[in-house]
A and B are shown apart, each in its own frame.
Chain A
Amino acid sequence: MRSSLLRFEGTNSRSSMNSKASLCFKRLASFKLPNRPPFHEVFPQKTLVNRILFELDSKLTFPKLYPVYESIYNNLGHSDRENALPKSFTASDVMIMKKVLEKLRHRTKSTNRNFIALENELLEKAAEMGDNDAIGLLAYSVLKNPQKNSAEDVAHAKSLIKQLYQMNHSLTLKLTGDFAWRSDDFTNAESYYKRFLEFENDTFRAGEVYGQLGILYLRKPDLKEAERCFLSSISLAPRENVVKSYYHLAQLYMESYPLKARSLMESAAAEGFKESFQLLGFLEMNYFQNYAKSQQWFKLGMELFEVDCYIGYFDSCVKMQKWHLAKKCLETMHLLVQKNTAQYPAYETFLKSREDKIEALKLHSTNPHIEVSKYATQMRGSPATKRNTWGL
């Protein structure tokens, strides 16, 4: 890992912050990435990048950015080589380049460590060029892991944040809110987020902040306010950024608007939000009575070893009278619980509550292969341990 030392030599005034700020990043440790694939092989297609640039409302184009990306990518890990940024490039352009990579990461739901390094490099460059967003992000990355940074770095990061905060720099307000959130200081987090919204309330970032505020209101609980925040969140930010807002809003609507809840939950599931699979499965099975569809959702959850999804899948199989599938599901659950005893209480409850169905299963199968009582006696002697958990 690479750590950066921030050196901010700017003045306290707002104007001088942008123009005169200069940062010096000393790479304490650098490493060479062995076997880094050629850039043209890993960088996404022009269409996708152009679409992201359009969404970011950038004047930059793919042909203009590609050589810059390539140059920085090829120089990664070579602290001695100077990356050639065109003279026309401003700090905000570099930040746009960073945001493109970030969006690609969200959209493709995959991380490439070379691209992460490229993102970091761009962030540092933008900070060096005096971009306040970049400075704020870097300063907070230092504060996130103070033990991995020197006391001097931490103190310097703090002073930078203080200056940005005094300038009412919106991203810093958001990051301060996030920091308070991580420290379980929800009252302060709320006030920072509200302050952020005073300066910026119609951007992607505001959408994210509304999402966080919504969760805060859920905790209180002030559900009407939470609903309002989630609605603002999903109207402002793209789905991949605020998937939790979709999920929580779906939960809020579960009792009054199941149809809306399903649609919102499907949006969350489309982004791969794993908690949504079982809820969608149960909603389709128990409310909308669409067993085939519920099975598909449960299958997705089962791939992530969600025990509730196994239970739902078993139920839907029984309802559809697909006995062989139900039997197979029961056997798989049996094996899973053997490997992970933490799930045993849920499994036991399942066995007790589905006794009649399991009996019915025996009638439809010559070798049901279920030794429930035997298994239960075995398990009572061996309580769940931490080492046995799946760690999902």
Chain B
Amino acid sequence: MMHCPIWARACSSARTPGVPALISLRDARLFQESLSANSTLATFKDAYQTGKFRVVEDEDKASAGLNSNRSLPMLQFPKYRIFEEVAKDAKIGEWRKPVTKWARLAKAVLKMYMVGLKNNWYIRKSAKKVTTKFGTTPEQFAAELYKDMTFQEIEHRIKGLRPAPLRINRSEFQELHRQKEFWKIPAFFALYVVFEEFLPLICYLLPSIVPWNCLTPGGFKKLSDLRVSSKSLLPFKSQDKLVPAYASPYSVPLDNVIGLLRSHRMISRWKAAVYRVSGNRTQLCELLTQLSQNLTLDDWFLVSQVVNADGIVAITDRELVNAVLERQLYFKGEDLNALASTEIGRRLLVWRLLIYWSFRFHGTTVTGGPKTFSETWGVNNVGIMNFPGSTQLLDFNTLKNVVDQCCT
């Protein structure tokens, strides 16, 4: 046989891949040791400290092609802002102010829904343009992109090159993924016709019917609490090892697969029931593979920017919240929107992401390492899916260990 650069490496049980060590948060000294051992973490720390990587509120100040604010929900409900504006407005008579406050709030909410629905339409249109250009469905195209990424990793490892952009940028990739929300519009519109002014109340009670970018912070909080409850189904939770061992999507119990897919809005309730009854495990496992690949691809987009971009890399606070939500890097009951609205909370969320990336991508080609992602972790390893990268998830108590090290 001819020798090729592609080796049948990934599936051989004869070799155990060398994986990065966990990042310790127990005290400042141990974190310092992790910084010395994990050069990727050090790179991220420098980037965040120097402002090369930052979080911004305004999308205009964010990096182009990296964010898609229009497909994400608002962080703060405008109630207090509107009430305060009305209260301070001298032109409005005191007797009129309570009514005006609620009228303006209702107007703002309606406007938010209108803008959200319009944005959904634009997202759908731009996603359609991408899929037409490449002649595939969004799901197939995501898989194609993942394949491109793996090809590029192999080529660049051999040629010693830096990561190059893929066929589309992160913003397009995310919109391709988020355009599914478009299909909620007919049901949403039908509800509006039937219930009219009670729609906001219905949306509050049943936030899952609302298109993602029309969610209010209250609805988002409910959904985020629901999603984090599926954390116990993640494969690394059922392992008794510090560093998660390799787990293929086919090794995850079927109930856990369905639970994870449901919580990540990858499959509808009835479809899951049909697959369960028919015993079609392959389809479900393939969807879990798709979920894992999408998350890895999104990580790759962000990490390659932070590590390799020459200028400033800025993501919006909405994208930060969404990234933390998708990776389940939060505790049940935590209000991600509220956290992202404060300086210290934002710092906490950013560090959670940085630690998560440092663990996953240390030693891989995207951060200048010698191995591809699959060589480091194995093919479609769901064992590390949404694993925080440290023994415990960073919280306000342990954040000071991290911040201390960054300030010294």
Q: Which residues of A contact B (CB under 8 A)?
A: 215, 218-219, 221-224, 227, 248, 251-259, 275, 278-279, 282-283, 285-289, 308, 311-312, 315, 346, 349-350, 353
Contacts and interface: CB of A to CB of B under 8 A. Distances in A.
A286 B13 contact: yes
* Of listed A215, A255, A286, A346, residue having the most chain B CB within 10 A: A255
A315 B372 CA distance: 26
B12 A308 contact: yes
Most buried by A among B1, B10, B13, B286: B13
Given A256-B143, A286-B378, 14 more contacts: A218-B4, A218-B6, A222-B155, A224-B148, A251-B4, A254-B11, A255-B372, A258-B289, A282-B8, A286-B11, A287-B248, A312-B13, A346-B14, A349-B14
B286 A248 contact: no
A221 B11 contact: no
A258 B374 CA distance: 12
10 contacts: A254-B11, A254-B379, A255-B10, A255-B372, A256-B146, A256-B150, A282-B8, A286-B12, A286-B248, A308-B12
Interface string B331-353: 00000000000000000000000
Contact of A282 (B1, B12, B151, B282): B12
Interface in B1-59: 1-2, 4-8, 10-14, 16
Contacts, number: 91
Contacts of B143: 256-257
A308 B14 contact: yes
B379 A258 contact: yes
Given A222-B155, A288-B250, A283 B5 contact: no
A233 to B, nearest CB: 15
B158 interface: yes
B380 interface: yes
B286 A259 contact: yes
Given A282-B12, A287-B379, A256 B5 contact: no
A219 B146 contact: no
B151 A315 contact: no
A243 to B, nearest CB: 12
Nearest to B145: A256
B154 interface: yes
The residue in B14, B16, B147, B246 that gathers the most chain A C-beta atoms within 10 A of its C-beta is B14
A285 B13 contact: yes
Interface of B: 1-2, 4-8, 10-14, 16, 143, 146-148, 150-151, 154-155, 158, 246, 248, 250-251, 282, 286, 289, 293, 372, 374, 378-380
Given A221-B158, A259-B286, A275-B1, A350 B14 contact: yes
Nearest to A307: B14
A165 to B, nearest CB: 26
Contacts of A282: 8, 11-13
Given A215-B2, A248-B4, A288-B250, A254 B154 contact: no
A223 B16 contact: no
B14 A289 contact: no
A279 B1 CA distance: 14
Nearest to B158: A221
Contacts of A253: 147
Contacts of B372: 255
Contacts of B246: 286
Contacts of A221: 5-6, 154-155, 158
Contacts of A350: 14
A248 B251 contact: no
Contacts of B2: 215
B6 A259 contact: no
B147 A257 contact: yes
Contacts of B146: 256
B396 to A, nearest CB: 39
B6 A251 contact: yes
B146 to A, nearest CB: 5
Contacts of A315: 13
Contacts of B150: 255-256
B5 A219 contact: yes
Given A223-B154, A224-B151, A256-B147, A289 B8 contact: no
A258 B13 contact: no
B250 A289 contact: yes
A361 to B, nearest CB: 16
A227 B147 CA distance: 11
Nearest to A274: B1
Contacts of B154: 221, 223
